[in-house]
Amino acid sequence: MREMIDIIVDSKTYKAQNGSLLIDLLIREKIKVPYFCYHESLGADGNCRMCMVEIEGQKRPQIACDTLIKPNMQVRSNSENICKVRTDILELELINHPVDCPTCDQAGECSLQDFYMDYGLHNTKITIQEKVKHAKHVDLGSNVMLDQERCVLCARCTRFTDKITHTHELGIIGRGDEAKVSTMPGRKLDNPYAMNVVDLCPVGALTSKDFRFHQRVWFLQTSNSVCHGCAKGCNIYIDHNKMKYQDDVIYRFRPRRNDAVNGFFICDEGRLSYKDLQENRQESILLYEEETQENKALQELKNLIENYKEKITLIVDANLFTDEIEALVAFAKSISATLYSPLEIYKDENFKDDMLKSANRAANYKTIENLNINTTLPTKNALVINFNHPLDFEADVQINFTTHKRGKNRLTFPIAAFSENAGHLTNEDSIMQECQKAVFKNNPAPTIVEWLQKVRS
Amino acid sequence: MSQKTRESSITSDRIKVIPRYGSSLKDKLYLPAIYEGVKVTFKHLFTNLNDSNAIDTLEYPEEQPTDITSRYRGLHRLTHRADDSIACVACFMCATACPSNCIFIEATQREDGHDEKMPKSFFIDTLECIFCGYCVEACPCDAIRMDTGIFSLTGNKREDFVLNKEQLLANKGAFGEEVSCARN
């Protein structure tokens, strides 16, 4: 650990590590500094020149992203001179920018727009009418669309493929105003983390083909959640919106920074898992494959529990929230049922990699283990009550509490998916994390805890 | 608190104190004011009896208004480009600006080489619309206008008042300028 020293920024004193990057301090202390190319996960590149600050004793403005903090440093981040420098650099960026914000998906979360409102608002000094033309809407592969005209050449995407995924698909070719981002000849962007470049891109050059044109970002509401794709438990934002007269719909998952778990990124499979969450959902209560009233189905369930006393097997999905699993353990005790959660089905060695993907594709299997729930396959089943476990079991009677539509059973109850419910998860590294309730459906399915209360009453 | 202490207690110079009227004897009697009002009414009555052609009313619907100007906010229309394709790029600015949230757009990829994006569907619920004209102000492409001069929309059921993209494109401007000024 390097020593902590005092540094003065805009005549206020801050504590910082000797030799750390100045821009990290500015970001941490929420001092306004514009930047395109710097990213905490990718380090300094120093090509966009937006993060200029004045340092006492230096003749010219310096870039904060490549300046190391030294003792007795005095920094000015918002003097008149610096604001003018930033305006001028922004004007350079905008010379060939197509300014097609109306059709650009990034509008609303675009750094170029934000910085223009903060530092630009200038009358351009450029009198050239024709802007340099490049390719628009190039399909790079892996659901990523490239617009070379909107690019500010910050090289975040190329550095991502170089430093993070080590796949080196992207590069900047050409010089001057002919410079553009492109894939290497004959190659496509193809790696399991490719869509992170869409989040990394500060402007609308890289957009997601999956999210493109579906919704303007300022309509979206954001909730904190945790991906249920595997046991890693990557932190995500759920972006959803309830349009007038319509139902609440999830439009995308975005990675949420958590240095202890996933850092800045998530895998593409997890990012696109929001689709499965919304498709083919079980919405009604079924008795012998026919829709039925809630109290009739609950009466049937109570009768079955009464008839099969001591011969009931409860199956628990290892993706449920800890709160739900604990409620089910208590419920199993009260009806003297045996509790199983077969974990073998979740194992997928092909999915595993050395970044974020785990071979254990159950978000909360750690809780199943912590609560000492039997993880083997149940034998000799009379009455099976399955709480969203992906397997079907041989039994005299099977009752399903399920989020998604599945095979024929005596009784089927719809339950809320994780996005429609709040709770906790414990990931494979034993870190407990919270999921907020994101989606508020017009006709919400009850959660497992709500169903258990109904069964008991 | 009396009027006087309230005024003296206000220290901020941003607050404007409005003097109250109506405390004089003439105001409290009401009769002089009623007399003033009735005088105006009867003046109009006798003028109109003398010359019924000068009455400021229309024999609507036989007689149509002639004083609708280009600034009049009539029924909406979607403008065209020079090649007759739709000018709208589905940027959702109108839907964002709309105070009554009566514009429903679904965007899609555009394939005819103009822009990347166009509306797949575009609905305006004119029953919810308050005809404020914010959508026209917000549009960066001059794609939506209210210059049709149409001030009356009739229908037999509620659904008739929800205008779709084709109906909005079919509405013609009443004051020339058929093509979008910003996208052509």
**Residue B183 CA, distance from chain mean position:** 25
Write the residue in A103, A212, A216 that is nearest to B89 by C-beta: A103
What pLDDT, in 10s, does the model give residues A69-115? 998 899 999 899 999 999 999 998 888 899 899 999 999 999 999 99
Element (H, E) at A448: helix A448-456
- Min Cα separation B127/chain A (Å): 15
The ipTM assigned to this model is: 0.85
Reported confidence tier of residue A1, pLDDT bands at 50, 70, 90? low
Q: Do B91 and A107 touch (CB under 8 A)?
A: yes
What global pTM score does this model have?
Answer: 0.85
Report the pLDDT value the prediction gives residue B12, as an integer from 0 to 100: 60
**pLDDT attached to residue B2:** 45
CATH number at residue B85: 3.30.70.3270
Question: CB–CB of A150/A98 below 8 Å?
Answer: yes
Looking at the structure, tell me whether residues B82 and B140 fall in a common domain.
yes
Q: What is the predicted pLDDT for the residue at A323?
A: 93
Size of interface A-B (CB pairs under 8 A): 35
Within-domain flag for B72? no
Q: Which of B116, B125, B159, B183 best probes binding to A when mutated, by most A CB atoms within 10 angstroms?
A: B116
Q: Are residues B53 and B81 in the same domain?
A: no
Mean pLDDT of A289-304: 90
Question: Per the CB < 8 Å rule, is B108 touching A103?
Answer: no
**Are B105 and B157 contained in the same domain?**
yes
For residue range A341-379, list pLDDT tens digits in order: 999 999 999 999 988 999 999 999 999 999 999 888 888
A80 Cβ contact list (under 8 Å, min separation 6):
none
CA distance B141 to chain A (A): 8
Q: Which residues of B touch A218 (CB under 8 A)?
A: 96
CA closest to B102 among chain A residues: A244
Look up residue A43 and give its DSSP letter: B
Q: By three-state DSSP, how is residue A435 classified?
A: strand
Write the residue in B96, B104, B108 that is nearest to A213 by C-beta: B108
Identify the closest residue of chain A to B117 by CA–CA distance: A103
Residues B115, A100: C-beta atoms closer than 8 Å: yes
CA distance A136 to chain B (A): 9
Residue B2 lies in a domain: no
- Counting the structural domains of chain B, the total is 2
| Chain segment A402-421, per-residue pLDDT in tens | 999 988 788 999 999 999 99
Note whether residue B176 is domain-resident.
Answer: no
B16: in domain: no
Chain A residues closer than 8 Å to B116 by CB:
100, 103, 136-137
B63 within some domain: no
User: Most B CBs within 10 Å: which of A101, A136, A209, A213, as the mutation test of the B interface?
Assistant: A213
Q: What is the pLDDT of residues B34-59, one digit of tens each?
A: 999 999 999 999 999 998 887 888 88
A100: nearest CA partner in chain B: B115
Q: How many helices (H) and strands (E) does chain A have?
A: 11, 22
What is residue B10's predicted lDDT score, i.e. its pLDDT? 54
Question: Nearest CA to CA, how far is B179 from chain A (Å)?
Answer: 19
One-letter amino acid of A184: M
A263: left (phi over 0), alpha (psi -120 to 50) or beta: left
Among partner residues B96, B108, B116, which is closest to A218 by beta-carbon distance? B96
> Tokens 């796949």 — which residue?
A167
Asked whether residue B50 falls in the same domain as residue B86, the answer is no
**Separation CA A173–CA A153 (nearest Å):** 10
pLDDT of A226 strictly over 90:
yes
User: From CA A59, how far away is CA B150, in angstroms rounded?
Assistant: 66
pLDDT tens sequence across B60-118: 889 888 889 988 999 999 999 998 899 999 999 999 999 999 999 999 999 888 888 99
CB B99 within 8 A of CB B137: no
Taking the C-alpha atoms of residue A385 and residue A235, their distance in angstroms, rounded to an integer, is 31
pLDDT single digits (tens) B4-32 = 445 555 556 678 888 888 888 988 899 99
Cα–Cα distance, B50 to B149 (Å, whole number): 34
Backbone angles phi, psi at A301, to 5 degrees: -65, -45
Residues B92 and B35 in one domain: no
How are the residues of chain A apportioned to helix, strand and coil, as percentages rounded to the nearest 5? 25, 25, 50
Pair B84, B49 in one domain: no
User: Do the domain assignments include residue B137?
Assistant: yes
Residues 6 or more apart whose Cβ sits within 8 Å of residue A219: A241, A243, B92, B96
**Residues on chain A bordering chain B, Cβ-to-Cβ distance under 8 angstroms:** 100-103, 107, 136-137, 212-214, 216, 218-219, 243-244
* Residue A243 to chain B, least CA–CA distance (Å): 9
User: Which residue spans within A166-264 are E strands per DSSP?
Assistant: 170-173, 180-183, 206-208, 221-226, 235-242, 248-255
What single-letter amino acid sits at A56? Answer: E
Please tell me the distance in Å from B69's CA to the nearest CA on chain A: 30
What does the alpha-carbon distance between residue A137 and residue A360 come to, in Å, rounded to a whole number?
37
Q: Indicate if B82 and B53 belong to the same structural domain.
A: no
Q: Looking at the structure, do residues B84 and B145 belong to the same domain, yes or no?
A: yes
Whether B36 and B86 map to the same domain: the answer is no
Are B42 and B108 in a shared domain? no
Cβ-nearest to A103 among B96, B104, B117 = B117
Q: pLDDT tens digits, residue range B159-170?
A: 999 999 999 999
Q: Do B115 and A216 touch (CB under 8 A)?
A: no
Q: Is the pLDDT of residue A209 over 70?
A: yes
Task: Average the pLDDT over each of A97-101, A123-127, A313-317 and give the range with the smallest value.
Answer: A123-127
Nearest CA in chain A to B108: A213
Whether residue A121 has pLDDT greater than 60: yes
Chain A residues close to B115, C-beta within 8 Å: 100, 103
- Give the domain extent around B36: 22-57
Q: Do B92 and A100 touch (CB under 8 A)?
A: no
Per-residue pLDDT at B11: 56
| CA atoms of A411 and A121, how far apart (whole Å) | 63
Closest A-chain CA to B115? A103
Q: Between A126 and A391, whose confidence is greater? A: A391
Work out the mean pLDDT of chain A and round it to a whole number: 91
Q: How many angstroms separate the CA atoms of A97 and A92, rounded?
A: 9
Is residue A274 over pLDDT 60?
Answer: yes
Domains and CATH numbers, chain A: 4-78 (3.10.20.740), 101-208 (3.30.70.20), 286-456 (3.40.50.740)
- Assess if residue B166 is contained within a domain: yes
pLDDT of residue A395: 84
Beta-carbon separation of B115 and A107 below 8 A: no
Q: Can you give the pLDDT at residue A445?
A: 93
Looking at the complex, does the CB of residue B134 fall below 8 Å from at least one CB of chain A? no
Q: What is the pLDDT of residue B1?
A: 42
Which residues lie closer than 8 Å to A53 by C-beta, 6 or more apart? Answer: A22, A26, A33, A61, A62, A63, A64, A67, A75, A76, A77, A82
Which of B107, B140, B141 lies nearest to residue A213, judging by beta carbons?
B107
In a domain, B66, yes or no: no
> Which of A231, A197, A253, A184 lies closest to A352 in space, CA to CA?
A231
Contact map slice: B 99-128 vs A, CB within 8 A: 101, 104, 107-109, 115-117
Co-location of B131 and B163 in the same domain: yes
Q: Which of A1-5, A292-296, A433-437, B133-137 has the lowest mean pLDDT?
A: A1-5
